[in-house]
Amino acid sequence: MEQAIMNRSKEKIVDLIVQKKFDEVKEDIGFSSNIFMVFGLPTRKLKGNPPYWTKETSLCKLTITRHDKNEVPYGCYARMNQIFIDTEVRTKNTNVIDVGRSFNEYVRKVGYREGRANKALLRQLINYITSVIRVEPQDPTPGRILGIQSVVARAWDIYFDVKNPQQLTFSKGQIVLDEDYAKYIHKHSVPLDMNVVGCFKRNPLALD
């Protein structure tokens, strides 16, 4: 299955290169926090649903702590949710994320086709916005304890009927990001070619 997904991704990227050469593709720029450009997210569900996940580089360490009722975000849906949110923050200079009035509307916002994304997309959104992000340097000055930590979101109001994805709600769903977290994203986000990202939106390894 993974090999088949990778092969389809390669075919899509080749097609995209050809289309770009002949100016057949409209430029589409998104953004991602440098945290996730460096560390990514788990590509698969973590065995045993541990309370946190860590990843290290030679310079620093990332820890993502899950909400007690949820999971550490993982897979391509988690990554695409994160990229969508970061793009909204960077392009609209806001910490209030509009997720739309129906599940299908949100699916389109994130970059999938209607009917091609399921309730796992929503589950990974909830996993992500309810988590806590912590980054710590690997070798701080002796005797000095240093790090940054933030919840992703302070509030959320989302109601999607996944079984009836076209069903409209009376008002738009919203996610209110922690203001400091949103400021960090706005200041430390990296531009992405969303046409390329779209080729790998079902391949978490390639997205990282």
Tens of pLDDT, residue by residue over 83-141, are: 999 999 999 999 999 999 999 999 999 988 877 667 899 999 999 999 999 999 887 67
14 pLDDT exceeds 50?
no
User: Quick one: pLDDT at residue 116?
Assistant: 62
Nearest to 125 by CA among 92, 159, 95: 159
Partners of residue 155 on adjacent β-strands: 176
Q: pLDDT class for 2, splitting at 50, 70, 90?
A: very low
Average pLDDT rounded to a whole number, residues 29-36: 93
pLDDT at 15: 46
CA 80 to chain centre: 4
pLDDT at 53 over 80: yes
CA angle, 82 then 85 then 86, to 5°: 85
pLDDT of residue 4: 47
Mean pLDDT of 33-43: 94
207 falls in which pLDDT band (50, 70, 90)? low
Give the containing element (helix H, strand E) for 55: strand 52-56
Token readout for 40 is 């990514």
Mean pLDDT of the chain: 84
Q: What's the mean pLDDT in 25-47? A: 87
Sheet holding 153-157, edge to edge: 96-100, 173-177, 153-157
pLDDT of residue 202: 63
Write down the pLDDT at residue 191: 92
pLDDT > 70: percent of the chain: 78
Res 3 pLDDT > 70: no
47 or 162, which is more confident: 47
pLDDT value of position 203: 63
